[in-house]
Amino acid sequence: MAQLTLTNVRKSFGSLEVLKGIDLSIESGELIVFVGPSGCGKSTLLRLIAGLDEITEGTLEIEGRVVNDVPAAKRRIAMVFQSYALYPHMTVRRNMAFGLKMSRLPRAEIERRVANAATMLKLEPLMERLPKQLSGGQRQRVAIGRAITREPAVFLFDEPLSNLDAALRVATRIEIAGLHERLPAATMIYVTHDQVEAMTLADRIVVMNAGRIEQVGTPMELYHRPANEFVAQFIGSPAMNVLPAEEIANGNFGPRAKTVGIRPEDLRLVDSEPLITGKVLLVEQLGEVTLAYARTETGRSISVKLPGDHAIARDDVISIGAPLEKVHCFDQDGLRVSQEEVLTET
C-alpha cells in the first residue's frame, strides 16, 4: 500500500531545469502511466521517486511521510528498466534471489518469494537457465519477477517493453495488466512511448511536456476531452488534425475557437457539404483500416483513417466531413473550448 504525493517537485542538472514544478497525487493501488515527448523528464521523475537522484526542490511524500532524504533502499520501491540488467553468470533463480540474499532475508522466506514470483509470471520452466539462454521477453519477465520478490509498495517501470518485438510486447503487456490485478495493493508507475500500452494499462495517464504536466486523466478523458492542443495531438495515432478555424468550411465554432481539431478516425468521406477538401498524397492500406494523407488547398496536412479497405488513390481529391460532436475546439492559448459553448454557436 502506498499513496504518493508530489508537491512542486523540481529537478535541475546544473543550470538546466528539467522538471519545472510537478504536482501529482497517486492513489494506493493505482496504475499511472507517464507519457510525453523524448526528453520531457519522464525517466528523471521516476528516478526521483525511486530515490536514485535527489529532488532539487519540492517534496515527495509516500503514505504522508516526506521521503526526500530517505535512501532508495528504504523506500520499498522496485524499478524495472528498459534493459533487463540481469547478472549474466547467474541462473534465473539466483538472479531473482540475489537482492534478497544481500538484504539477509531468511532462506525459507527467499524461497517462498522467488517461487511465488515464478508462479505469477510462469517462469518455473526457466529457473535454472542463464539469461543468455532466454528470449528478450523472458528476460524482461525475469526482471519483473525480481522486482516482485522484493514485495515493493511501488513498482516503477521505465519503458520495460520497448526492446521486445510486437508480439512479445502484447503478451508481456497482458502479463503486466494481470500483475496489476493480482497485486491490487501495489502502486505502479509506468513510462511508455506506446499509445496502446498507455491506453490499455493506465488507470490514469499523466501527459508531460518540457518538464511540466499538461493533463492528468483516465485514458478516455484524455481521448474525448483533451485539455489543450498539445494533449489532443499527443494522445491518439495518427495524431489529431488541428486546423485554423477559418479554414474549415461553414465553420462557425464561436468567437473563442481559434483552431479546430478532428481525429483521423472521426473523419468520413462525404458527397456534399464537406468540412475540408484535400488532395491525396499517400494511401496506406492496413486491411482493417485505410490511412489517407491529404493536403488542403491552404497546404495543411490531413490524415484520415477509414474503416476497411477503401478505394482511394494518390491525387484523388476527397471531400471530408465529421459529426459535429467529434469536433474539438481550442482558443488562442491552445486551451479547450467546451463542447457546450461550441454547440450553442453552431
Ligand X SMILES: Nc1ncnc2c1ncn2[C@@H]1O[C@H](COP(=O)(O)OP(=O)(O)OP(=O)(O)O)[C@@H](O)[C@H]1O
Which residues of this protein are in contact with ligand X, per CB under 6 A?
A: 13, 16, 18, 36, 38-44
Closest listed residue to residue 81, CA positions, set 133, 153, 144 = 144
- Residue 16 or 313: the one with the smaller Cβ distance to ligand X is 16
Cell numbers for 281? 498524397
Which of the ranges 38-46, 126-134, 142-150, 298-306 carries the binding residues for Mg ion, by CB under 5 A?
Answer: 38-46
CB of 17 to ligand X, least distance (A): 9
Cα–Cα distance measured from residue 121 to residue 218, given in angstroms and rounded to the nearest whole number: 27
- Residue 38 or 344: the one with the smaller Cβ distance to ligand X is 38
**Tell me, what amino acid is at 174?**
I
Q: Contact at 8 Å (CB) between 291 and 283? A: yes
Supply φ then ψ for residue 242, to 5 degrees.
-125, 125
Residue 87 contact, options Mg ion, ligand X, none, Cβ 5-8 Å cut-off depending on partner type:
none
Closest listed residue to residue 189, CA positions, set 310, 7, 337, 30 = 30
Closest listed residue to residue 148, CA positions, set 174, 120, 175, 168 = 120
Residue 41 contact, options ligand X, Mg ion, none, Cβ 5-8 Å cut-off depending on partner type:
ligand X
CB of 71 to ligand X, least distance (A): 18
CB of 190 to Mg ion, least distance (A): 12
- Residue 43 or 140: the one with the smaller Cβ distance to Mg ion is 43
Contacts of 311 (CB under 8 A, 6+ apart): none
- Residue 46 or 342: the one with the smaller Cβ distance to ligand X is 46
- Residue 43 or 215: the one with the smaller Cβ distance to ligand X is 43
CB of 194 to ligand X, least distance (A): 11
- Residue 50 or 289: the one with the smaller Cβ distance to Mg ion is 50
Q: Does 43 bind Mg ion (CB under 5 A)?
A: yes
Supply φ then ψ for residue 197, to 5 degrees.
-60, -45
Return the C-alpha torsion angle 336, 340, 345, 346, nearest 10: 100
Residue 38 contact, options ligand X, Mg ion, none, Cβ 5-8 Å cut-off depending on partner type:
ligand X
- Residue 30 or 158: the one with the smaller Cβ distance to ligand X is 158
For the chain, the maximum distance between any two Cα atoms, rounded to a whole number of angstroms, is 75
Cα–Cα distance measured from residue 346 to residue 176, given in angstroms and rounded to the nearest whole number: 45
- Residue 14 or 71: the one with the smaller Cβ distance to ligand X is 14
Q: How far is CA 83 from the centre of its chain?
A: 18
CB of 45 to ligand X, least distance (A): 7
Residue 39 contact, options ligand X, Mg ion, none, Cβ 5-8 Å cut-off depending on partner type:
ligand X
Count CB atoms within 10 A of the CB of residue 61. Answer: 15
CB of 319 to ligand X, least distance (A): 39
CB of 160 to ligand X, least distance (A): 12
CB of 177 to ligand X, least distance (A): 22
Count CB atoms within 10 A of the CB of residue 345. Answer: 14
Cis peptide before 274 (omega within 30 of 0): no
Residue 95 contact, options ligand X, Mg ion, none, Cβ 5-8 Å cut-off depending on partner type:
none
Residue 264 contact, options ligand X, Mg ion, none, Cβ 5-8 Å cut-off depending on partner type:
none
Enumerate binding residues for Mg ion (CB under 5 A).
43
